[in-house]
C-alpha cells in the first residue's frame, strides 16, 4: 500500500430526468451566463437542447452556444472556444455531450484563465492556476471525464494527443441520466466498454505496488462492464444495465482504482493515442486492437496479476487463457482486434511508431516503450 492523496469534489447527480435540474445546479453555484458546449446537432434533434435551455431560462441563466466539437477533439476548436468564452464574458462552461465535449470544455475553462496559448498547459510549460467552473450533462459513458480533472485534446498541427489535469478542472456537477445514452450506437457502446476496461487494466497490470483491495475493485468494474455490455447488446432499452455501465465507467477513472498503488503507467492509452491521432479511429476501437497485443507482449513481466485477471474475470487459469478470453470477448461484442480492421496497413506502421515514441515521452515510459518494443506490440495486432 503506497501513500496517496484522494480528492474528488465533483457532485454526480444520477438518474431519470436529472438534466432538468441543470438550471438549479448552475444557479446554486452563482452562475449567470455560460458557454454551452456540444458536438453535433443531435442534441437539438432529440430535444435535449430544448430541455436544457428551458431549465436555464427558469433560473434566469444566459448562455452562448458553442457546438461542433468532434470526437478526438481538436486544439483549434479549443482555442476558438476560449476566444468565444472571453468575448462573451461567460462565468462557467456547460458541456452537453460525451467525453470529447467535456474534455474540450475543461481545456476552454482553463485556457480562459491563462494568458498564453492553451497548449502550454498540455505541454506542462505552464501550470493551470485557475479555471472557469465546468458543469456537464453526459450523453455517453466511457471516458470517466465526468468525475475527473483530465481533458485529452489533439493538436492537429503536430498530431500530439496530450492531456491536462488540475484540481481546478474537476467538473462541479455532472448529470448522468442513463436514458440520455439510449441513442448511443451499437458500435459506440462496445468501443465505450473497451475504453472503460482500458482505464482499469493499465494500472492493474503495470503497478509495481498493487494492493489486492484495488485489484478487487478493478475486477468489480470490469465484470460489471462485461455483464452490462452483454445485457445492453441484448436489450438496448435496459436502463438499469445502462446505469450500472455508466456508474462503473465513472468509477474506473475517478482516482479510486489507483489510490494506494504506485509505479503504474498507461501504455495502452499511450499507444492508442497515436492511432486515433493519425487515423481518426474511434478511441475504443483503437484500444481493443492495442490491448490484446500489448497483453501478449507484457504478461510475463507480471504473471501473477495476469493469472489473477484470468481467474477473477474469465474464470480460467493461465495468463495466456485470460488474454485469449478477453480477445474473444472483444470479437464477440464486435469491436476490432486487428490493425487491418482499423484500415491501418503495414506501410503506416513506421510513422505510427514514431508518434507512439513521442507519446511515450509525455506518458513518462519512453524507457520501456522503445522502437523495438512498440514494433513487437504492433506485430501482435497484425
Binding site for a copy of itself (CB under 8 A): 1-9, 11-16, 18, 178, 211-213, 216-217, 219-221, 223-224, 227, 239-241, 243-244, 247-248, 251, 256, 259-260
Q: Of the two residues 243 and 267, which places its CB atom closer to a copy of itself in the complex?
A: 243
Q: Of the two residues 256 and 365, which places its CB atom closer to a copy of itself in the complex?
A: 256
Q: Of the two residues 240 and 328, which places its CB atom closer to a copy of itself in the complex?
A: 240
Task: Please give the Cα distance from 329 to 327 (Å, whole number).
Answer: 5
- Quick check: 148 and 170 in contact, CB under 8 A? yes
State the sign of the Cα–Cα–Cα–Cα dihedral 229, 235, 236, 237: negative
Residue written as grid cell 510549460: 125
Minimum separation from the CB atom of position 298 to a copy of itself (A): 24
Minimum separation from the CB atom of position 5 to a copy of itself (A): 5
Query: Phi, psi at residue 74, to the nearest 5°?
Result: -110, 145
- Per-residue b/e over 289-309, b at no fewer than 16 CB within 10 Å? bbbbbbbbbbbeebeebbbbb
Minimum separation from the CB atom of position 220 to a copy of itself (A): 4
Minimum separation from the CB atom of position 28 to a copy of itself (A): 11
Q: Of the two residues 199 and 283, which places its CB atom closer to a copy of itself in the complex?
A: 199
Sequence-separated (6 or more) residues with CB below 8 Å from residue 201: 218, 222, 268, 291, 309
- Closest listed residue to residue 114, CA positions, set 68, 169, 71: 169
Minimum separation from the CB atom of position 179 to a copy of itself (A): 11
Minimum separation from the CB atom of position 121 to a copy of itself (A): 23
Q: Of the two residues 144 and 267, which places its CB atom closer to a copy of itself in the complex?
A: 144
Task: Please give the Cα distance from 255 to 249 (Å, whole number).
Answer: 12
Q: Of the two residues 11 and 46, which places its CB atom closer to a copy of itself in the complex?
A: 11
Task: Give the three cell numbers for residue 139.
Answer: 450523453
Helix or strand or coil: residue 115? coil
Helix or strand or coil: residue 355? helix
Amino acid at each position: 500500500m503506497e501513500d496517496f492523496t484522494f480528492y474528488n469534489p465533483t457532485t454526480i447527480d444520477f438518474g431519470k430526468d436529472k438534466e432538468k435540474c441543470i438550471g438549479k445546479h448552475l444557479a446554486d453555484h452563482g452562475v449567470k451566463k455560460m458557454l454551452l458546449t456540444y458536438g453535433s446537432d443531435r442534441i437539438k434533434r432529440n430535444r435535449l437542447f430544448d430541455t436544457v435551455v428551458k431549465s436555464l431560462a427558469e433560473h434566469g441563466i444566459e448562455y452562448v452556444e458553442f457546438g461542433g466539437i468532434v470526437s478526438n477533439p481538436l486544439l483549434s476548436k479549443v482555442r476558438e472556444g476560449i476566444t468565444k468564452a472571453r468575448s462573451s464574458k461567460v462565468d462557467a462552461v456547460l458541456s452537453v455531450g460525451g467525453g470529447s465535449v467535456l474534455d474540450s470544455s475543461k481545456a476552454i475553462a482553463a485556457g480562459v484563465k491563462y494568458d498564453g496559448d492553451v497548449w502550454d498547459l498540455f505541454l506542462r510549460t505552464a501550470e493551470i492556476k485557475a479555471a472557469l467552473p465546468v458543469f456537464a450533462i453526459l450523453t455517453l459513458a466511457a471516458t470517466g471525464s465526468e468525475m475527473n480533472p483530465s481533458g485529452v485534446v489533439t493538436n492537429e498541427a503536430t498530431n500530439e494527443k496530450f492531456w491536462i489535469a488540475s484540481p481546478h478542472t474537476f467538473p462541479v456537477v455532472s448529470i448522468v441520466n442513463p436514458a440520455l445514452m439510449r441513442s448511443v450506437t451499437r458500435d459506440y457502446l462496445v468501443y465505450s466498454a473497451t475504453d472503460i476496461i482500458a482505464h482499469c487494466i493499465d494500472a492493474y497490470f503495470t503497478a509495481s505496488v498493487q494492493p489486492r483491495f484495488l485489484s478487487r475493485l478493478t475486477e468489480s468494474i470490469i465484470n460489471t462492464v462485461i455483464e452490462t455490455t452483454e445485457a445492453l447488446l441484448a436489450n438496448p432499452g435496459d436502463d438499469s444495465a445502462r446505469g450500472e455501465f455508466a456508474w462503473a465507467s465513472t468509477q474506473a477513472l475517478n482516482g479510486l482504482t489507483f489510490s494506494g498503488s504506485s509505479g503504474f503507467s498507461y501504455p495502452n492509452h499511450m499507444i492508442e493515442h497515436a492511432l486515433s491521432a493519425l487515423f481518426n479511429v474511434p478511441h475504443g476501437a483503437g484500444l481493443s486492437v492495442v490491448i490484446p497485443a500489448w497483453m501478449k507482449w507484457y504478461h510475463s513481466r507480471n504473471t501473477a496479476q495476469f493469472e489473477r485477471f484470468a481467474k477473477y474475470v474469465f474464470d480460467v487459469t493461465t495468463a495466456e487463457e485470460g488474454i485469449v478470453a478477453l480477445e474473444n470477448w472483444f470479437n464477440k461484442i464486435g469491436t476490432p482486434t486487428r490493425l487491418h480492421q482499423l484500415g491501418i496497413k503495414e506501410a503506416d506502421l513506421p510513422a505510427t511508431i514514431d508518434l507512439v515514441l513521442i507519446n511515450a515521452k509525455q506518458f513518462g515510459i519512453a524507457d520501456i516503450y522503445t522502437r523495438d518494443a512498440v514494433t513487437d506490440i504492433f506485430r501482435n495486432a497484425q
